[in-house]
A and B are shown apart, each in its own frame.
Chain A
Amino acid sequence: EDKVVQSPLSLVVHEGDTVTLNCSYEVTNFRSLLWYKQEKKAPTFLFMLTSSGIEKKSGRLSSILDKKELSSILNITATQTGDSAIYLCAVVRDDKIIFGKGTRLHILP
């Protein structure tokens, strides 16, 4: 059975801290891995990872895929209160896209 597991499920840190969110997967016919940020409504796209070991970066956020370990991490440096959100990881296998349960991140001012 296909599985996407995110950890931790929730995290509370202080502004300025660095956080690392984890996503591991067990799927057949893996195509790519997606990261999303969700605040009040629909998730917004952050990164798409297809190749192992190549870091994707956008401002204070970065992500990398490890196909050997079947996992990915999302790093956020110098966190701000606006980073408070649910972070979702999803794995694309053929035409099916499976999400993990998400990590709820709360940044304290």
Chain B
Amino acid sequence: SQTIHQWPATLVQPVGSPLSLECTVEGTSNPNLYWYRQAAGRGLQLLFYSVGIGQISSEVPQNLSASRPQDRQFILSSKKLLLSDSGFYLCAYSQGYNSPLHFGNGTRLTVT
């Protein structure tokens, strides 16, 4: 069966520190991978998506970057965090536009 792992679950980081959030998918190959950010109690903002290794589409110009070094691994990074980077970050995968999106458990990031 397919599963998606995302870690850590919570993270508190000072302003100006780096960030690395990792997401891995098991039980499927060549998934589409996504990073979303959610402000408190609201909708999901698409940050990045990837349809293959090394292929990253960025939706919102900002302080973050993404990489896909392996087929089932998606990493969200920042060199220097800002206060505005705080939020709930969700990784997700799908098997294409005819299949639903499946989410990891999310990372709650607080930048202090």
Which of A's residues lie within 8 Å of B, judged by CB? 6, 31-32, 34, 41-43, 45, 48, 50, 86, 88, 90, 92-102, 104
Q: Point out the residues of chain B lying under 8 angstroms from A31, CB to CB.
A: 97-98
Which of B's residues lie within 8 Å of A, judged by CB? 32, 34, 36, 41-46, 49, 51, 57, 59, 90, 92, 94, 96-106
| Min C-beta distance of A22 to chain B, whole Å | 14
- Count of A-B contacts judged by CB separation below 8 Å: 61
Asked whether B46 lies within 8 Å of A99 as measured between CB atoms, the reply is yes
Query: How far, in angstroms, from A50 to B104 measured CA to CA in the complex?
Result: 24
Asked whether B36 lies within 8 Å of A99 as measured between CB atoms, the reply is yes
Asked whether A98 lies within 8 Å of B46 as measured between CB atoms, the reply is yes
- Residue of A50, A90, A93, A100 touching B101 (CB-CB under 8 A): A90
